[in-house]
């Protein structure tokens, strides 16, 4: 370790080895909570910080507020005495390491919105002490950690690299994935300097099975964007193929299933009604914004965004055509939206295309209801506060028959799709549930 450091970084690493270091996590959402539990389960003491008093109450009582995280894990963490949740941010000076897991959304102009990162940094700068490690996990553009976070933290009078350490390690959570969880997903770590990267890697190395060290925080930030842009571009490709193949009477899902039999040179992505989740609809625009600062255009990425953004419009058009063929208009029709979550088998509705579809249908005069076994009540959002639909309806033969159309948006595995097809007058399938290859063709099912 360099002599320029005002504290002994090796001593901090040794405290981590001995599980004597306390870790603070800011933001106990989809990223912060599973990370906190993983640390506690590896014998670290964790203080979780959040502005949502409801979350703090639930966690203190040993209850989870996510369907994919068992309350038993939360109760076990609390019972161990190594985990507590608090809204007292003045305590940020207590932990040896602080991991920032706050949202990084977009503005209405689709530009990076770093207000949560900046606000967190200002809170932290007021209590930052010598010898602390700070790691940003929130997805962002290359340069955020050292251009935005570092200067705010140094307003404390402390100097990064001498008095405190700073790194970036992108979250890679995939809620509902049965094959991978926090500890088994390789962790990318990059520091603003060598010592920061080394200490951050040492901390995560006690919790995550594999650590991938990169040369800088900027590189780590770029890694996360690259991963999600890769997905966004390929989702746009298969969505466009769906539109292209439809007038040719070719089932894109059957094509993709067959193409997936090739053991090399092909990676399967599935089309849908649009993109969703906190990453895919947002992350590409973080890079396009930063690229413009450097005079670089991201034509390919922006085209993919255009395709994905317009998918709900394509779906609505297919629904209108299907209703017209039955001499019905969208105006006045009763439409059941099947699925609010942005992907199957989770309760996460962030950026779900279901909101866009419901909003458009209501604007066209439809009477909209929804069913989602994981989202019983439409989550409150500023953008969609005007939607009239609120609670999930039960799937019964009588209820299904009462709708003019069922719009399948999310393909949860625990939904009885045969029941729906047997009793619905019309099903508009955006997920390929009723595939030509494994189900008998039905006259009442339209692919969209």
Name residue 205's beta-bridge partners.
Answer: none
Whether residue 284 is found in the same domain as residue 330: yes
Whether residue 154 is found in the same domain as residue 205: yes
Alpha helices in 18-138 (DSSP H): 32-41, 53-60, 71-79, 115-125
Tokens 């500890």 -> residue: 183
Report d(CA 448, CA 439) in Å as an integer.
17
Whether residue 295 is found in the same domain as residue 190: no
In contact, 370 and 340? CB cutoff 8 Å = yes
Q: What CATH number should be reported for the domain holding residue 434?
A: 3.40.50.720
Whether residue 136 is found in the same domain as residue 104: yes
Tokens 């209501």 -> residue: 362
Q: Are strands 45-49 and 83-86 parallel, antiparallel or unpaired?
A: parallel
Q: Is residue 3 part of a domain?
A: no
Q: Is residue 136 part of a domain?
A: yes
pLDDT tens by residue, 225-237: 999 999 999 999 9
66: tokens are 């996510």
Q: Is residue 222 part of a domain?
A: no
Q: Which of 214, 249, 279 is the last residue of a domain?
A: 214
Give the three-class secondary structure for 266. coil
List the chain pLDDT tens, one digit each, 448 residues. Answer: 444 545 789 999 999 999 999 999 999 999 999 999 999 999 999 999 999 999 999 999 999 999 889 999 999 999 999 999 999 999 999 999 999 999 999 888 889 999 999 999 999 999 999 999 999 999 999 999 999 999 999 999 999 999 999 999 999 988 878 889 999 999 999 999 999 999 999 999 999 999 999 999 999 999 999 999 999 999 999 999 999 999 999 999 999 999 999 999 999 999 999 988 878 888 899 999 999 999 999 999 999 999 999 999 999 999 999 999 999 999 999 999 999 999 999 999 999 999 999 999 999 999 999 999 999 999 888 889 899 988 999 999 999 999 999 999 999 999 999 999 999 999 999 999 998 655 556 889 999 9
Whether residue 167 is found in the same domain as residue 242: no
Whether residue 244 is found in the same domain as residue 202: no
Whether residue 127 is found in the same domain as residue 255: no
Q: Please give the model's pTM, rounded to 2 decimal places.
A: 0.90
Q: Is residue 258 part of a domain?
A: yes
pLDDT of residue 110: 84
Report d(CA 369, CA 392) in Å as an integer.
7
Please classify residue 384 by burial: count the beta carbons closer than 10 Å to its beta carbon, then call 0-12 exposed, 13-18 middle and 19+ buried. Answer: middle
In contact, 392 and 379? CB cutoff 8 Å = no
Give the three-class secondary structure for 83. strand
In contact, 74 and 1? CB cutoff 8 Å = no
Residues 6+ apart with CB under 8 A from 296: none
pLDDT of residue 277: 80
pLDDT of residue 436: 61
Q: Is residue 224 part of a domain?
A: no
Q: Considering 12, 225, 233, 279, which one is annotated as catalytic?
A: 279
pLDDT of residue 2: 44
Q: Is residue 402 part of a domain?
A: yes
Active site annotation includes 279: yes
Alpha helices in 404-447 (DSSP H): 417-423
The helix, strand and coil proportions of the chain, stated in percent and rounded to the nearest 5, come to 40, 15, 45
Number of structural domains in the chain: 2
Whether residue 298 is found in the same domain as residue 170: no
pLDDT of residue 383: 86
Residue 116 phi/psi, 5° resolution? -75, -40
Whether residue 186 is found in the same domain as residue 139: yes
CA neighbor of 428 nearest in space, from 275, 323, 308: 323
Whether residue 146 is found in the same domain as residue 255: no
Q: Which of 166, 183, 214 is the last residue of a domain?
A: 214
In contact, 342 and 276? CB cutoff 8 Å = yes
Q: What is the DSSP letter of 325?
A: H
Residue 88 phi/psi, 5° resolution? -90, 90
Helix (H) or strand (E) holding 371: strand 367-371
Q: Is residue 294 part of a domain?
A: yes
pLDDT tens by residue, 106-149: 888 889 999 999 999 999 999 999 999 999 999 999 999 999 99
Q: How far is CA 124 from the centre of its chain?
A: 25
Q: Which domain holds residue 185?
A: 9-214
Q: Which of 183, 214, 245 is the last residue of a domain?
A: 214
Q: Is residue 1 part of a domain?
A: no
Helix (H) or strand (E) holding 367: strand 367-371
Whether residue 286 is found in the same domain as residue 375: yes
Whether residue 179 is found in the same domain as residue 286: no
């Amino acid at each position: 370790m360099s002599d320029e450091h005002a504290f002994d970084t090796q001593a901090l690493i040794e405290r981590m080895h001995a599980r004597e270091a306390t870790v603070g996590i800011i933001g106990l959402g989809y990223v912060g909570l599973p990370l906190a539990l993983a640390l506690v389960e590896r014998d670290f003491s964790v203080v979780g910080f959040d502005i949502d008093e409801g979350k703090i109450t639930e966690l203190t009582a040993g209850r989870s507020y996510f369907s994919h995280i068992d309350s038993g894990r939360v109760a076990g963490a609390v019972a161990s005495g190594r985990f507590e949740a608090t809204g007292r941010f003045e305590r940020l000076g207590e932990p040896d390491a602080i991991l920032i897991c706050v949202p990084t959304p977009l503005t209405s102009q689709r530009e990076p919105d770093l207000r949560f990162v900046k606000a967190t940094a200002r809170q932290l700068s007021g209590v930052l002490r010598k010898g602390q490690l700070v790691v940003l996990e929130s997805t962002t553009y290359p340069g955020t950690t050292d251009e935005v976070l570092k200067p705010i933290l140094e307003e404390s009078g402390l100097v990064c690299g001498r008095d405190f350490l700073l790194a970036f390690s992108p979250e890679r959570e995939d809620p509902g994935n049965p094959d991978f969880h926090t500890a088994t997903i390789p962790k990318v770590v990059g520091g603003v300097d060598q010592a920061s990267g080394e200490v951050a890697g040492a901390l995560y190395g006690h919790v995550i099975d594999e650590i991938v060290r990169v040369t800088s925080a900027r590189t780590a930030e770029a890694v996360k964007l690259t991963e999600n842009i890769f997905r966004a571009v390929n989702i746009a490709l298969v969505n466009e193929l769906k539109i292209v193949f439809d007038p040719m009477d070719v089932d894109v899902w059957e094509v993709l299933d067959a193409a997936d039999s090739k053991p090399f040179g092909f990676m399967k992505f599935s089309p849908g009604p649009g993109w969703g989740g906190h990453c895919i609809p947002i992350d590409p625009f973080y890079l396009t914004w930063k690229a413009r600062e450097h005079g670089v255009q991201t034509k390919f990425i922006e085209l993919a965004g255009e395709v994905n953004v317009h998918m709900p419009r394509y779906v609505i058009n297919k629904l209108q055509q299907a209703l017209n063929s039955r001499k019905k208009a969208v105006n006045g029709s009763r439409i059941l939206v099947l699925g609010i979550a942005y992907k199957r088998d989770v309760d996460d509705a962030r950026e779900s295309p279901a909101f866009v579809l419901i909003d458009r249908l209501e604007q066209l005069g439809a009477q909209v209801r929804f069913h989602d076994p994981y989202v019983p009540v439409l989550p409150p959002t500023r953008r969609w506060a005007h939607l009239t639909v609120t609670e999930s309806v039960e799937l019964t033969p009588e209820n299904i028959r009462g709708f003019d159309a069922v719009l399948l948006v999310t393909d949860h595995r625990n939904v009885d799709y045969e029941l729906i097809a047997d009793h619905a007058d019309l099903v508009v399938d955006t997920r390929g549930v009723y595939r030509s290859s494994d189900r008998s063709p039905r006259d009442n099912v339209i692919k969209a």
